[in-house]
């Protein structure tokens, strides 16, 4: 709306300057100063808007008291899924602490160990969303994918895993 008023005012000034010579003699310096002030204001606004934003606050550390060693995985069952390289992992998570678990990250390593000669196939990490109150056990399920060619499918799979990045519930 302000630009419409400025446009109309500008058209009136141009008309009066073209029509009356005396008006033109004093309006030219005034308009030159007004344009300079407007450009300076636009530059200052542009500089203030393009200033870098303050950095985001660092994420708060997870609440103290819950550690990966507090999570015990039991009854793990690895089943080949429909895809050749995908496996379904089912098991139970037992929380030995008094704090409620919200989720944990599970890193699984697959090795092929026929006749005690192991060959590492690969690793996969899964975020397991399971809410386990302190001192209780809950079932969980996740999927894992490993990189190997179809003709190199493991004949004697050996699984190893580690629990990391445990997160407790914010509300107990």
Q: What is the pLDDT of residues 115-142, one digit of tens each?
A: 878 888 888 999 999 999 989 999 999 9
Q: Which has more confidence, 94 or 82?
A: 94
pLDDT band at 107 (very low <50, low <70, confident <90, very high): very high
Q: What per-residue confidence (pLDDT) applies to 2?
A: 67
Residue 171 has pLDDT above 60, yes or no: no
Residue 17 has pLDDT above 90, yes or no: no
Residue 164's DSSP bridge partners are 105
Average pLDDT of the segment spanning 14-30 = 77
Distances (CA, A) of 34 to 7, 18, 23, 95: 14, 19, 16, 72
User: Nearest to residue 99, comparing CAs of 69, 79, 125?
Assistant: 69
Residue 100 CA to residue 120 CA, distance in Å, equals 35
- CATH H superfamily, domain 68-168: Immunoglobulins (2.60.40.10)
Query: 5 in helix, strand or coil?
Result: helix
111: Cα separation from own chain's centroid: 31
Paired sense of beta strands 86-95 and 101-112, if any: unpaired
Residue spans of the domains in the chain: they are: 2-49, 68-168
């Amino acid at each position: 709306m302000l630009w419409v008023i400025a446009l109309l005012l500008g058209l009136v000034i141009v008309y009066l300057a073209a029509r009356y010579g005396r008006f033109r003699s004093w309006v030219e310096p005034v308009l030159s100063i007004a344009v300079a002030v407007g450009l300076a204001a636009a530059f200052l606004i542009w500089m203030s808007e393009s200033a870098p934003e303050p950095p985001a606050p660092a994420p708060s550390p997870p609440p103290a008291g819950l550690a990966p060693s507090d999570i015990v995985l039991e009854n793990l069952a690895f089943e080949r899924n429909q895809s050749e390289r995908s496996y379904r992992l089912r098991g139970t998570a037992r929380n030995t602490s008094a704090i409620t678990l919200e989720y944990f990250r599970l890193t699984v390593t697959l090795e092929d160990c026929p006749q005690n000669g192991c060959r590492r196939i690969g690793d996969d990490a899964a975020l397991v969303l399971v809410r386990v109150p302190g001192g209780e056990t809950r079932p969980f399920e996740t999927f894992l994918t490993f990189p190997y060619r179809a003709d190199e499918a493991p004949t004697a799979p050996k699984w190893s895993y580690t629990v990391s990045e445990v997160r407790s519930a914010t509300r107990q």
